[in-house]
Amino acid sequence: MSSLATAPEITQAVACEAIQGLTATPKTLSPWLFYDEAGSHLFEQITELPEYYLTRTERSILTAHADEILAQAAAGRRLTLIELGAGTATKTGLLLAAAVRRQGTVLYQPVDVSETALDEARQNIESDIPGVTVHPQVADYTTEPLQLNRPSNTRTLALYIGSSIGNFSPHDAHDVLRNLRTQLQPDDTLLLGTDLVKDVPTLLAAYNDASGTTAAFNRNILTRLNRELGTDFRIDHFHHKAIWNALESRIEMHLESSTAQRVRIPANAASTAKTIDLAAGETIHTENSYKFTPTTVATLLQSAGFTPTQTWHDPNNLFAVTLATT
Ligand code: AVI
């Protein structure tokens, strides 16, 4: 999607994804489709769930080590921070506050596809942390170049936190980081947040919470298609499934149709109307969430041209935050 995508272009992108994914074998839907307004709200709720340890654990690592992380990244110079997929930048405040403690003022450049999320980030950060100047960029960082502002004599610290890298296949994760690497300069750094491999019950609970919020988040993808494309998925006939794929080291989310159903994609969404048949028990694969080991994090960073310098963990080794140089 381009940074200036208009509503019809977004619907067109949704239609393309839906047709491509639902006519494939096995059927898939791309996880970016989760994040309409309702889906973004559900995701915010997920981050607060007792079972979803990722967000609060990463926050605890940043709370404990923000000053040290910034000192290492700065190495005696001033820092400018950019953030890929910043969203509402709720955890970034910890690092920005540390940057202000260190150097008085800081320029923060969040990049995200959601203009609304960036507006919220700017308002919250500028009012909560005096000394931060926010220059948001609405862009898809996976395909578009970053418009980086580099005040002279500063180093850039690129933030890619929240385990967002885990939602890409290893091949695409490499491409995203490689693309970032080519836009950074010598002595710039990357801070990468990754979720770690751990016991399977903990992993499964995080993606299959007792309150059913993750199930609602998963099913919302079909609600979105019904609303935006006019498809007629029988949403109450789909079960949320989260499974651990040990071979690929990832949690997979699927939607399983409990009955055989024929779904119509109307002609206004597709060039000609299409029908999609789902057998009883057939699934639509909606998301992968890769889990890493210290070795796989290092290998990924090195393959993209970064050199990992230090990793911070929580005491239970649930999550890792790694600083890497260019
Ligand atoms: C955004 N991303 C890091 C989340 C994850 O854990 O993979 C998305 C998510 N899917 C289900 N719950 C949360």
Measuring CA to CA, which residue among 314, 300, 65 is closest to residue 192?
300
Q: Rounded to an integer, what distance in angstroms lies between the CA atom of residue 225 and that of residue 27?
A: 15
Ligand 1 pocket test, candidate residues 47, 289, 291, 319, most atoms within 8 A of CB: 289
What is the pLDDT at residue 8? 63
Query: 253 C-alpha vs ligand 1 centroid, how far in Å?
Result: 10
Q: How far is the CA of 36 from the centre of ligand 1 (A)?
A: 15
pLDDT at 95: 97
Q: How far is residue 35 from each of residues 117, 222, 253, 268, 282, measured CA to CA in Å?
A: 11, 12, 15, 22, 24
Answer yes or no: are the C-beta atoms of 283 and 257 closer than 8 Å: yes
pLDDT of residue 148: 87
The CB-side HSE value for 212 (13 A sphere, CA atoms) comes to: 4
Determine which residue's CA is closest to atom 6 belonging to ligand 1.
Answer: 289
> Which residues lie closer than 8 Å to 202 by C-beta, 6 or more apart?
53, 318
What was the pLDDT predicted at 309?
Answer: 98
What distance in angstroms lies between residue 162's CA and the mean position of ligand 1's atoms? 9
For ligand 1, the distance from its centroid to the CA atom of residue 31, given in whole angstroms, is: 9
Compute the distance between CA of residue 139 and CA of residue 99 in angstroms, rounded to an integer: 25
Ligand 1 mutation target, pool 44, 46, 217, most atoms within 8 A of CB: 46
Residues 6+ apart with CB under 8 A from 215: 208, 239, 240
pTM of the complete model beyond 0.90: yes
How many angstroms separate the alpha carbon of residue 136 from the centre of ligand 1? Answer: 23
What stretches in the chain show pLDDT beneath 50? Answer: 1-4
Give the atom of ligand 1 at the shortest distance from the alpha carbon of 162: 3
pLDDT of residue 60: 97
Question: Would you state the pLDDT for residue 86?
Answer: 86
Give SS3 for 247. coil
Q: With beta carbons less than 8 A apart as the criterion, state whether 215 and 208 touch.
A: yes
The answer, yes or no, to whether ipTM is higher than 0.95 is yes
